[in-house]
Amino acid sequence: MKKITICLCIVFCFILLFSFKANAQHVRGDVNLDGQVNISDVTTLIDYLLRGKWGDEPVTPGGTEYVNLGLPSGTLWATVNIGASSPEEYGSYFAWGETSAKDTYDLNNYKWSNSRNKMTKYCTSSSYGTVDDLTELDPEDDAAYVNWGGEWHMPTLEQMEELVEECYWERTTLNGVEGTLVIGSKGASLFLPAAGYQFGGSLAEVGTGGTYWSRSLYTSRSDCAHYMYFNSSGEYWDYNVFRYIGLPVRAVHDSYEEPDGDTDKDGHVNISDVTMLIDYLLSGRWSDEPVEVELEPEYVDLGLPSGTLWAKWNIGATNLNRHGSFFAWGETSPSERYDWYYYKWCKGSNNTLTKYCTNSEYGYNGFIDGKTELDPEDDAAYVNWGPSWRIPSLSQWQELYDRCTWEWTGSSQKVTGPNGNTIYLPASGYFQDFCLGNGEIGCYWTSSLYYAYNDACYFAYYWSFVKGDINPNGNRFPRCAGLKIRAVRASQN
């Protein structure tokens, strides 16, 4: 009580001195939501204290607890699977688009298939059934909405991507159950049990793999839907599988129900809200929105003879533990699909190239420009991170291999330079139709066109490693495929 009283007195004094005014929108510290930050907010906090309304229990929309992981979207994740009463319980298994569990999971008893095994709802191609172009589950087919009601629903593909990319994942056990702990930027966490999946009447990967449905259809194959997956090698948000398979569901809630007095927006009302008022007042950081720290590109000097500086993380990564985005060679943003039809520098096939072509046999209408290195405007590092950054050339990768020590650790390569500094290269796999080799293979673009073998210029050089074995050179990959990018910059000397 003494600590709280002292804190409140300090807040009282500072607010009297500064008399801050807020903008029209709700700001941190505006406890009573009157559009201002002043002495009335302190008295509201005192009122809460006297009435015993302080507490660490989170608000629970729909009667089910959520975790506020501090995600940029504000998405709240449920603490348990649907059908479970505790975080470590597996809960129920659902076919995609079905809202109740069953004994067996196969195409014959799937709700949205007919006698010809074609899809009758959620279909974008006549090859797979009746086209309706629905790509997200309707509420009545969403297991979270139907079973829990309110604002609960199954996560979208984007929400699963955010969970994987913005949080730290750590394999662990809870009450003897294998799973993973997902830790957000504020330190809050949730536990996902490795519940596996159900095919036919049998369970698979229980205790080793976690599979969780999204509400998003896999548009390239309408008989499949996206799901999130983790195992001992890592965590992946962009997998897809047949819709009739039985997977668990971890629901999400989009709207944050902020309790009065929750200044730091962690879902609790306690002493930390008072200390945050003091901190914000002293630092002058009152604002309309929570302060969000963006990951600025950083580099590591490995002591290489060329002076080349290597980025700490891949382009598209939002924290040190994430793998970043996939890019086709010569494209500067992630693609919807990674094939020749979607590739920027051709007319739909590998022999209709419109840029970076050294052989007219592969150029559109005989096109040839002789370019063998990416122009800055087609360099994802230059475009996304600024003019100091580039995609490394083949020779820069070769130097990294020749001059550094490579050591497999977890699902990454630890690369130690001559001066003892290190970087980590995640084994993020590659993307063609779907993600392959995640956790096993590392594939990184160079800036160099491949033209040594019969001038097959629809390839580009890339650097790869497979579970500790580094392939030092001569690797080529179709330019339309999705690979990761680790950027470099010149020496700062």
pLDDT tens digits, one per residue of 217-249: 999 999 999 999 998 777 888 889 999 999 999
Question: Does the structure show a pLDDT above 50 at 287?
Answer: no
Nearest to 488 by CA among 377, 399, 416, 368: 399
Is-contact 376 474, C-beta < 8 A?
A: no
Q: CA end-to-end span of the chain, whole Å?
A: 56
Task: Please give the pLDDT value at position 54.
Answer: 46
Task: Please give the pLDDT value at position 430.
Answer: 85
Q: What is the mean pLDDT of the chain?
A: 81
Strands 224-231 and 299-301: unpaired
Task: List Cβ neighbours of 321 (8 Å cut-off, separation of 6 or more).
Answer: 168, 169
Q: Residue 144 — φ and ψ, nearest 5°?
A: -70, -50
Q: List the beta bridge partners of residue 448.
A: 373
pLDDT in tens, 30-57: 555 555 555 556 666 555 555 554 444 4
Burial class (CB within 10 angstroms; exposed 0-12, middle 13-18, buried 19+) of 360: middle
Span 180-201, average pLDDT: 89
Task: Please give the pLDDT value at position 453.
Answer: 58
Question: Does the structure show a pLDDT above 80 at 5?
Answer: no
What's the CA gap between 297 and 324, in Å, rounded? 12
Q: In what order do the strands lie in the sheet with 168-174?
A: 168-174, 177-183, 189-193
Radius of gyration over every alpha carbon of the chain, rounded to an integer in angstroms: 26
Question: Does the structure show a pLDDT above 80 at 19?
Answer: no
Higher model confidence: residue 399 or residue 14? 399
pTM of the predicted model over 0.85:
no
- 319 — pLDDT class (breaks 50, 70, 90): low
Q: Residue 292 is encoded by which pair of tokens? A: 């969000």
- 171 — pLDDT class (breaks 50, 70, 90): confident
Task: Please give the pLDDT value at position 23.
Answer: 34
- 6 — pLDDT class (breaks 50, 70, 90): very low
Question: Does the structure show a pLDDT above 90 at 304?
Answer: yes
pLDDT in tens, 203-215: 999 999 999 999 9
What's the CA gap between 217 and 230, in Å, rounded? 20
Burial class (CB within 10 angstroms; exposed 0-12, middle 13-18, buried 19+) of 203: middle
Nearest to 25 by CA among 289, 260, 258, 256: 289
Question: Does the structure show a pLDDT above 80 at 353?
Answer: yes
Span 250-274, average pLDDT: 64
Question: Does the structure show a pLDDT above 50 at 391?
Answer: yes
pLDDT in tens, 431-446: 876 667 666 788 999 9
Q: Per CATH, which fold does 2-57+265-283 belong to?
A: Type 1 dockerin domain (1.10.1330)
Higher model confidence: residue 132 or residue 151? 132
Provide the percentage of residues in the chain whose pLDDT is more than 90. Answer: 53
Span 158-172, average pLDDT: 88
Domain borders along the chain are 2-57+265-283, 61-253, 299-489
Span 55-60, average pLDDT: 42
Task: Please give the pLDDT value at position 26.
Answer: 40
Q: Give the least confident one: 96-100, 296-300, 338-342, 412-416.
A: 296-300
Question: Does the structure show a pLDDT above 60 at 364?
Answer: yes
What's the CA gap between 142 and 152, in Å, rounded? 9
Higher model confidence: residue 344 or residue 30? 344
